[in-house]
Amino acid sequence: MPRHPIPSRRTLLASVALLMAPLLTTAAPIRAIAADDAGVADKGAPKPPHFLPTQRISDGSVTVRGQRIDYQAVAGTLVVHPKGWDDSDPDTRPDSKNPDAEAAMFYVAYFKKGVRPEARPITFVYNGGPGSATVWLHMGAFGPRRIVTADDTHTPAAPYQVVNNDDSLLDATDLVFIDAPGTGFGRIEGRDKEKSFYGTDPDAYAFTSFIVQFLGRYGRYNSPKYLFGESYGTTRSAILAYELEHEKAIDLNGVMLLSQILDYDNSIDGPQYNPSVDQPYILALPSFAATAFYHHKLANPPADLRHFLDEVERFALTDYAAALSQGTALSDADRDRIAGRLHDYTGLPVDYIRKADLRVNGGDFEQTLLGDQAQDTGRLDSRFSGPAMDPLGERPDYDPQSAAMSSAYVAAFNDYARKTLHYGDGGPDGWMEYTVSANNIATWSFTHQPPDAPRPVRGAPNVLPDLAAALKYNPRLKVQLNQGYYDLGTPYFEGVYEMRHLPIPKILAANVEIRQYQSGHMVYAHEDALRQLHDNSADFIRRTDNQGAGPAPQAR
């Protein structure tokens, strides 16, 4: 399932296997894109079909909490170019024999009927990867139709059940689901196409260009505006929030993060390749503890998960952090004491913890917790488990959670796109394959230039400065972090730690709120958590859309 964030430093490649006519009112519906809108050049031959803006319009309705919402759906592509592209340069014209790179980015937008644009929030939604389509958030969380999957086991093969989504965010906001360049029904082409779009900064520039173009084409500049990104999409959101404000003079009302990773040196996927940096072990421990609790591996199971995690978090930041900081200077007695506490919190054997030098990475934990049953836990959602491909291996060869539900999502969206949205079904554009993942980790550039940095920084990206700069640039910007306890891909306490370490004045810390769920990376994979995620996200939008929604209710 291609929404995994990149692992830390030298494991970036080694760990990959684990790993888109203005809107008026109903009296004036969205118009189709005309030929001149579509970018057909008047100086040469037309562009290939994939690289013209496209649009398929349909109507539908969804019922959310008993309220019927009629909407207009637009499935299509918008064409974006790399930073520095100049349409006056002859070498970049459509008739050039060697054009510069361009990306046709696929999207599906849902607009509530009968509402003035300025009175209706709009939220741009995307998954991560990097290089993932947004089928997951579309069909699992907020679109008008939702795929039904098993809660913590493998979903049976087709036929799958697609139902009205009672938790669609269309009750609170219009939605634009954007697929990353090279995914979905989108395509990239031209000179240096991978270099132009497959990288931390090129990807963010493409999304910035897409959003600016979308706001203009559909007349949404004066709408309350939000970002909702999952996993690597949170990394993207931090950069986007700053770039939209600083470079495009577009203030956002809010940024919603799901399963956050902003500093990749905090990743638990491969910290052993980055010795002397012990923070990943500290921040992953509460998620290890939650997983052991779920699978009944604790000798003295607590009565309440949240109270238990409070205790584990305190231990992680105090005794455990102090022990790890001593390295080989740690006494044998203290080593044994910490190993015993880690056993109490994780269910792992004491001898194993000692042998691991008190440092257990994500793959080790996923392989070992249920090792006596020759089972691996899920990485993205550790409630899931599956037979180990190699019970004696160092780490799992696959993610049981991804294997459990990927087929259902892919089948459901392909069916929905062709039969309901009428896109990719063999019409004027011909039959098209929906690309779930660009599989571009090997060509991805992780170089990033933070705000005000004199030059790009190589290595594992850290976009905390970008989100901090966005909050400083727009002190009214609000951020909501949503996270699942059973996420071993982006452990929840990592996100908490990062939010506490944003380089911002303390007064701005009140702009950030955190919501947690008894679910995993894809919080919405658990139906109770999906309901809470909808309620929290809708409440966040209503409190921040500057239209007088009133104070927030108490967090649950």
Report the pLDDT averaged over residues 91-113.
80
* Per-residue model confidence (pLDDT) at position 62: 98
Q: Is the separation of the CB atoms in 404 and 131 below 8 Å?
A: no
CA-angle at 11, arms to 7 and 17, nearest 5°: 75
Residue 406 in any domain: the answer is no
Report the residue count for the chain.
Answer: 556
pLDDT at 20: 29
pLDDT-based confidence at residue 29 (cuts at 50, 70, 90):
very low
What digits encode the pLDDT tens for the residues 173-184? 999 999 999 999
pLDDT tops 60 at residue 6 = no
The predicted structure's pLDDT at residue 191 = 87
* Beta carbons within 8 Å of 277's beta carbon, 6+ residues apart: 265, 271
Task: Tell me the per-residue pLDDT of 187-211, one tens digit each, with 9 for 90 and over.
Answer: 999 889 999 999 999 999 999 999 9
Between 88 and 380, residue with greater pLDDT: 380
* 377, 400, 423 - which closes a domain: 400
Has residue 3 been placed in a domain?
no
Residues 444 and 517 occupy one common structural domain: yes
* pLDDT of 159 above 90: yes
pLDDT at residue 69 greater than cutoff 90:
yes
- Rounded-to-integer distance, Cα 469 and Cα 508, Å: 11
The boundaries of the domain holding residue 169 are: 11-265+414-544
Check residues 452 and 230 and name the one with the higher pLDDT: 230
Distance between CA 208 and CA 248 in Å, rounded? 9
CA distances from 433 to 302, 380, 425, 426, 445 (A): 49, 26, 9, 10, 26
Q: How confident is the model at residue 521 (pLDDT cuts 50, 70, 90)?
A: very high
What is the gyration radius of the CA atoms in the chain, in angstroms? Answer: 23
CB atoms within 10 A of CB 431: 9
Q: What is the predicted pLDDT for the residue at 96?
A: 57
Q: Give the lowest-confidence range in 51-60, 130-139, 222-231.
A: 51-60
Residue 458: pLDDT above 90? no
Whether 304 is in a domain gets the answer yes
Residues 86 and 235 occupy one common structural domain? yes
Token pair recorded at residue 480: 């909501």
Does any domain span residue 216? yes
50 and 22 housed in the same domain: yes
- Spatial distance between the Cα atoms of 173 and 58, rounded to a whole number of angstroms: 18
pLDDT in tens, 541-550: 999 999 864 4
Evaluate whether residue 477 is within a structural domain.
Answer: yes
From 400, 427, 459, the end of a domain falls on: 400
Same domain? For 286 and 353 the reply is yes
Q: What is the pLDDT of residue 431?
A: 76
Q: Are 282 and 333 in the same domain?
A: yes
Q: What does the pLDDT look like over 469-517, one tens digit per residue?
A: 999 999 999 999 999 999 999 999 999 999 999 999 999 999 999 999 9
CATH code of the domain in which 204 resides = 3.40.50.1820
Decide which of 367, 400, 433 is a domain's last residue. 400
Count how many domains the chain has.
Answer: 2
Whole-model pTM: value is 0.91
The pLDDT assigned to 92 comes to: 57
C-alpha closest to that of 320 among 276, 361, 270, 285: 285
For residue 91, which of 44, 28, 149, 35 has the smallest C-alpha distance? Answer: 44
Mean pLDDT of 460-467: 96
pLDDT of residue 43: 40
Q: What is the pLDDT of residue 394?
A: 81
Q: What percent of the chain has pLDDT over 90?
A: 81
Name the packing angle between helices 492-500 and 279-294 (round to 10°).
Answer: 140
State whether 255 and 282 are in the same domain: no
Identify the band that residue 392 occupies on the pLDDT scale cut at 50, 70 and 90.
confident
- Domain-located, residue 408: no
User: Do 458 and 378 fall within a single domain?
Assistant: no
User: What is the three-class DSSP state of 432?
Assistant: coil
pLDDT at 4 over 70: no
Domain for residue 409, yes or no?
no
CA 538 to chain centre: 18
Reply yes or no on whether the pLDDT at 44 is more than 60. Answer: no
372 and 418 in a common domain = no
Of 17 and 140, the structure prediction assigns the larger pLDDT to 140
Q: Which residue has the higher pLDDT, 61 or 33?
A: 61
- Regarding whether 532 and 506 lie in a shared domain, the answer is yes
* Residue 168 shares a structural domain with residue 242: yes
Do 104 and 130 lie in one domain? The reply is yes
225 domain residue, yes or no:
yes
Residues 239 and 338 in one domain: no
Q: How large is the average pLDDT for residues 320-340?
A: 98
* pLDDT recorded at residue 528: 98
